[in-house]
């Protein structure tokens, strides 16, 4: 993915006062201006058009402004997104976007730094559907084991799933910490990462076909009539549990993913609250589980609410260069931040309004259809912005 050079957006304005019957509301009138100092002398980017979306963190109110027009905002804390069109190296028209969180607008002057990225339009595998909440039994008990991820070949060529990985974030989209170092610009911090086996041509996937990767590839209706049959799944993730009373289920007729790392010593279950991020991509063939854990670990800490520094933690990182698609999940009412670089995903989608699993049973997020080709092949929408690329809170496709 082409990464655009760093730029600063300077907003200067004057402070105005407007009176209501009860109080005075402070506003900032700002005029944005792009500067693009480049660390790559061969790259030149000229922004031509676009739109800013300022979302007030406190109220949730969104304000949209066209590029090049004055911006007036109530003072407050904002999340900012920019999507637009630019000319790359004076010849190529490209789509770009950038984002920043927790930007303070106050006192009539806003100084904002963003990082622009060119949206990668190369077709590849994409995350088609995420079903993390699971189902519920007739007795209204939580049922575990029928979670799945659907991956779709969004290109017009046969792709091979060999070496394709799925990974779940270590961190939560509902809890923001000031990590040091913060490596999101270059890496994804994974709590679990599993890889499709194969020799490079073992698992062909035709254009427009999909894969189902699941927890347990069994007929779940035998244990829960409200569930479905996953014996047709292509792969299952299988974890070797250290607990004799809590063993994973293995269908010998469905191939297992290879575990590179998993935080759990028992079973890996996708986060049912829907407040983590998921990525897929390709691991170089020479990377083994042993070399991944030795070569891709890092140590970090974060600032506690008291202002003190936490103890050091060791986590595992996935280079952004390996990743071909990313989705940030977060309950609509408690989402705080993304766990990926804006180059991978500028927005987020949600299974439900809240994190309570009970109200979200059977719900999923599913990527939107962009168009249907004359031959009937569906092309799914991919703009690296989960807020617009996904339908949220939909009924899981396996339940339909």
Distance CA 243, CA 250 (A): 16
Inform me whether the pLDDT recorded for 71 exceeds 80: yes
Distance CA 290, CA 259 (A): 10
pLDDT value at position 199?
A: 95
Q: How far does CA 102 lie from the centroid of its chain? A: 18
pTM of the model: 0.84
pLDDT value at position 224?
A: 98
Average pLDDT, the chain: 88
Inform me whether the pLDDT recorded for 10 exceeds 60: no
> Domain locations in the chain?
3-118, 125-399
SS3 384: coil
Share of the chain above pLDDT 90, in %: 68
Taking the CA of residue 70 as centre, how many other CA atoms within 13 Å lie in the half-sphere pointing to its CB?
A: 9
pLDDT value at position 29?
A: 55
pLDDT value at position 214?
A: 98
pLDDT value at position 244?
A: 86
For strand 210-214 and strand 235-236, is the pairing parallel, antiparallel, or unpaired? parallel
Higher-pLDDT residue of 358 and 233 is 233
Q: In this structure, what are the phi and psi dihedrals at residue 86, rounded to the nearest 5 degrees?
A: -140, 165
Inform me whether the pLDDT recorded for 110 exceeds 50: yes
Inform me whether the pLDDT recorded for 9 exceeds 70: no
- Mean pLDDT computed over 295-314: 96
Confidence tier at 24 by pLDDT (50, 70, 90): low
Confidence tier at 122 by pLDDT (50, 70, 90): confident
């Amino acid at each position: 993915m082409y990464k655009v050079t760093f730029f600063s957006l300077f907003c200067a304005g004057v402070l105005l006062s407007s009176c209501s019957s009860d109080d005075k509301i402070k506003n900032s009138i700002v005029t944005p201006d792009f500067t693009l100092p480049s660390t790559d002398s061969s790259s030149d980017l000229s922004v031509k058009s676009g739109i800013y979306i300022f979302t007030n963190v406190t109220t949730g109110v969104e304000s949209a402004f066209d590029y090049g027009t004055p911006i007036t905002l109530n003072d407050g804390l904002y999340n900012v997104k920019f999507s637009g069109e630019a000319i790359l190296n004076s010849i190529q028209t490209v789509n770009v976007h950038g984002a920043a969180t927790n930007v303070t607008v106050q006192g009539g002057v806003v100084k904002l730094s963003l990082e622009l990225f060119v949206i990668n339009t190369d077709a590849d595998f994409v995350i088609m559907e995420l079903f993390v909440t699971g189902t519920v039994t007739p007795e209204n008990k939580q049922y575990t084991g029928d979670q799945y991820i659907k991956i779709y070949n969004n290109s017009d060529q046969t792709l091979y799933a060999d070496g394709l990985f799925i990974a779940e974030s270590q961190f939560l989209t509902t809890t923001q910490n000031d990590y040091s170092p913060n490596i999101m610009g270059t890496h994804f911090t994974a709590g679990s990462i599993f890889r499709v086996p194969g020799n490079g041509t073992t698992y062909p996937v035709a254009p427009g076909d999909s894969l189902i990767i699941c927890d347990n590839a069994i007929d779940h209706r035998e244990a829960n009539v409200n569930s479905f049959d996953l014996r047709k799944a292509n792969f299952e993730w299988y974890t070797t549990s250290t607990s004799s009373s809590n063993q994973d289920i293995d269908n010998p007729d469905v191939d297992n993913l290879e575990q590179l790392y998993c935080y759990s010593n028992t079973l890996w279950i996708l986060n049912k609250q829907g407040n983590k991020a998921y990525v897929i991509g390709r691991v170089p063939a020479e990377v083994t589980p042993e070399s991944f854990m030795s070569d891709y670990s890092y140590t970090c800490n974060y600032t506690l609410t008291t202002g003190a520094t936490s103890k050091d933690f060791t986590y595992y990182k996935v280079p952004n260069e390996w990743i071909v698609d990313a989705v940030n999940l977060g309950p609509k009412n408690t989402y705080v931040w993304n766990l990926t670089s804006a180059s991978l995903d500028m927005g987020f989608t949600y299974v439900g309004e809240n994190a309570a699993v009970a109200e979200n049973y059977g719900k999923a997020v599913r990527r939107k259809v962009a168009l249907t080709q004359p031959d009937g092949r569906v092309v799914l929408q991919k703009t690296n912005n989960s807020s617009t690329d996904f339908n949220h809170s939909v009924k899981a496709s396996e339940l339909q």
